[in-house]
Amino acid sequence: MKKLVVFDLDGTLLDTIDDLAHSCDEIMKRHAHPRHSNDEYRSYVGNGVRKLLERSLPEEYKNDSPYIDALLAEFLEYYHNHIADHTTIYDGIVEALETISSMGINIAVLSNKYHAGTVKLIKTFFPHITFADVRGQMDGVAIKPSIEALVSIMEKCGVSASETLFVGDTAVDIHTAQNAGVDVVAVCWGFRDESVLKAENPTYIAHRAADILDYL
């Protein structure tokens, strides 16, 4: 049996795309840039909010780091105030978390979302769930698919790679787990299609939250 389950956040525990898209559209509108559909924004997420903005900008701005940094500051201020306006929990997630916790298995969150936003969403939507660790993107720590933060969580919980299960919805999550030698469940309800996930050779595929329990 696994002793630690580490979850991605966006597209895995929570459907955050409406608030991400709305906030990004707000910044694009302020600066007279084209806006995008939710499906387009869905394809842009997974590597942190700075990369989301970069992918949303017209080609001539994509390598303008000072400009992107300025937009990022605007985005973070706006998004943090609207982070849970339309965000929802995926079906069955609360029950799955409660079951895992009742089994004495540690639960953690590792996201490429900025850390303060990650913590705010977890506290907002899962106040009754005990997490061994909650980590978003932090200064000085490489984001997924680097294994740095994942290994740190495993060390904090005193577990090995073989005792850990990673759950996520993108290739970034699959590669993070693979790089760390950890079994990974790719979930099909998130931001990537099942065919895209299968191409990355995850250990398992989950079509509903309860499926995760089969891989513990």
Rounded CA gap, 47 and 170, in Å?
Answer: 10
Q: What is the pLDDT of residue 11?
A: 97
CB 38 within 8 A of CB 17: yes
> Which stretches in the chain have pLDDT values below 70?
none
| CB atoms near residue 95 (< 10 Å) | 12
Q: What is the pLDDT of residue 6?
A: 98
Q: What is the pLDDT of residue 82?
A: 97
Q: What is the pLDDT of residue 189?
A: 98
Q: What would the pLDDT profile of 137-178 be if each residue is shown by its tens digit?
A: 999 999 999 999 999 999 999 999 999 999 999 999 999 999
Rounded CA gap, 69 and 82, in Å?
Answer: 20
Q: What is the pLDDT of residue 55?
A: 95
Domain 4-15+87-215 = CATH 3.90.650.10: no
Q: What is the pLDDT of residue 173?
A: 98
Q: What is the pLDDT of residue 159?
A: 98
Q: What is the pLDDT of residue 138?
A: 95
Q: What is the pLDDT of residue 116?
A: 97
Q: What is the pLDDT of residue 179?
A: 98
